[in-house]
A and B are shown apart, each in its own frame.
Chain A
């Protein structure tokens, strides 16, 4: 019944799950530390050396706080909201190729949970469903600030999904595949996709900021005007789930950016190092995580540099700038592909 393949998949799923949670946990620490460093402060430094165990302390605090459900809230949906946010955040990790192939006892195993042939569509699907956690949480709180946060989140997500999808379509046109494993594999032979799709990358990363609700697009949870936005009424670990889901999303979207535009686990001159087989795969995984961590840092760096957009500016940017730009990018990509295939001769 349990073939080595299935056992391997189970181990890989557990590993990806654990790594995602651990990275997200320490992202909260990194966020505070990066914020502090960029603002000439020291940041958390009391729990453990350099405050390294701060996330553990934060988690313990979250768990021991009072679990409060407002009397006017819709109880089932109030609990469902953070669960959905967490579920959709964790679902995207399965299509990301985390490294090359591993060989054990003559069998070759991919470091990717599943390489479905509609990988990018799967990503878009999960991202588009991801907004339900916030919407349901915000609505069921029965609080006007939460509701406004939820409405903002949904309209923002829908607006930026279009530009993101269009930017991805030009990439798909260029690579000719929807599978993430294949896209990453193609970048082994040639240049990374960023060289061919700089505009697409720019649009994609801006949309990724908006889709993960990160600053400068964190309008659903603006502290100054909406208190906490959709998680105003939440407390204890349910609040923790919402915050945690945001960091998981950040990690996953960093991994997607690295895979789609920056060669994934490939790195320059990887075949001239004299490494073979499992050793090369492990180095590739390490390089991939370096890229991912850089993008996580980039997310934080942007957050602590750029002030928040106003809501109409956000909508203007999405609809009047990014979508036309994405269509232009699509058009140019199409023409270039046409020339290369000799369509115009």
Chain B
């Protein structure tokens, strides 16, 4: 069966004299390596140049706030359940009086951690979230030298008010409609 045109038939025949002195073969090989010296290099020099990423790239997570600046997350735990790598941990707390500006729902996550070393960036947490609170963004998780630096708490995950993160690519109307589908168990009243 021939898969490509590049495959070469190998025969166990006796080598000819020219083949046995190897010099023509060596010369041919050296010409091949030399020709590579004049080829365009495919290297992308990372910090200066960046490779174009897919529009739906799944990178570092963000916990969204709503338009008024209140956290959307209600600490339901669906993301932690959905997570195949068990990277998400959270502690729920009840909203006090006067905190309506901070948290949208009556329950909120007082602690929310994602272990970026466990996370496989599959995006199932985003899919599971009924409150449109967690999204994966196109940001790359930076490397550090300590393991504990990879456990991202709310300080790193919740978006800052002055640096809102655009997730319009992922939070489309179609998706929002699809999530309201009554046939899903969690949407049944």
A residues near B (Cβ < 8 Å) are 37-42, 45, 301-302, 304-306
Contact = CB atoms under 8 A, between A and B. Distances in A.
A40 B36 contact: yes
Contacts of B39: 40
Nearest to B28: A305
Nearest to B37: A37
Given A40-B41, A42-B43, A306 B36 contact: no
B45 interface: yes
Contacts of B42: 40
A301 B33 contact: yes
A39 B36 contact: yes
B185 interface: no
A45 B45 CA distance: 10
A40 B39 CA distance: 7
Interface of A is mostly: loop
Contacts of A38: 33-34, 36-37
A40 B32 CA distance: 12
30 contacts: A37-B36, A37-B37, A38-B33, A38-B34, A38-B36, A38-B37, A39-B36, A40-B36, A40-B39, A40-B41, A40-B42, A41-B41, A41-B43, A42-B41, A42-B43, A42-B45, A45-B45, A301-B30, A301-B33, A301-B34, A302-B30, A304-B33, A305-B26, A305-B29, A305-B30, A305-B32, A305-B33, A306-B26, A306-B29, A306-B30
Interface string B31-56: 01110110101110100000000000
B51 to A, nearest CB: 15
A40 B38 CA distance: 9
B37 to A, nearest CB: 5
A88 B175 CA distance: 75
Residue in A38, A39, A301 with the greatest tally of chain B CB atoms within 10 Å? A38
A224 B34 CA distance: 25
Contacts of B41: 40-42
Contacts of B45: 42, 45
Given A40-B39, A301-B34, 20 more contacts: A37-B36, A37-B37, A38-B36, A38-B37, A39-B36, A40-B36, A40-B41, A40-B42, A41-B41, A41-B43, A42-B41, A42-B43, A42-B45, A301-B30, A304-B33, A305-B26, A305-B33, A306-B26, A306-B29, A306-B30
- Complex A-B, nearest 5 residue pairs according to Cβ-Cβ distance, in ascending order: A305-B33, A38-B33, A37-B37, A42-B43, A305-B30
Interface string B138-166: 00000000000000000000000000000
A306 B45 CA distance: 29
A302 B36 CA distance: 14
Nearest to A39: B36
Nearest to B23: A202
A328 B102 CA distance: 94
Contacts of A39: 36
Residue in B26, B37, B39 with the greatest tally of chain A CB atoms within 10 Å? B37
Contacts of A37: 36-37
A42 B33 CA distance: 15
Contacts of A45: 45
Contacts of A302: 30
Contacts of B43: 41-42
Nearest to A317: B22
Residue in A40, A42, A301 with the greatest tally of chain B CB atoms within 10 Å? A40
Contacts of B36: 37-40
A83 B50 CA distance: 47
A123 to B, nearest CB: 26
A41 B26 CA distance: 22
Nearest to B39: A40
Contacts of B33: 38, 301, 304-305
A40 B34 CA distance: 10
Nearest to B42: A40
A318 to B, nearest CB: 15
B116 to A, nearest CB: 27
Contacts of B30: 301-302, 305-306
A194 B24 CA distance: 19
Nearest to A302: B30
Nearest to A37: B37
Nearest to A35: B33
A79 B42 CA distance: 44
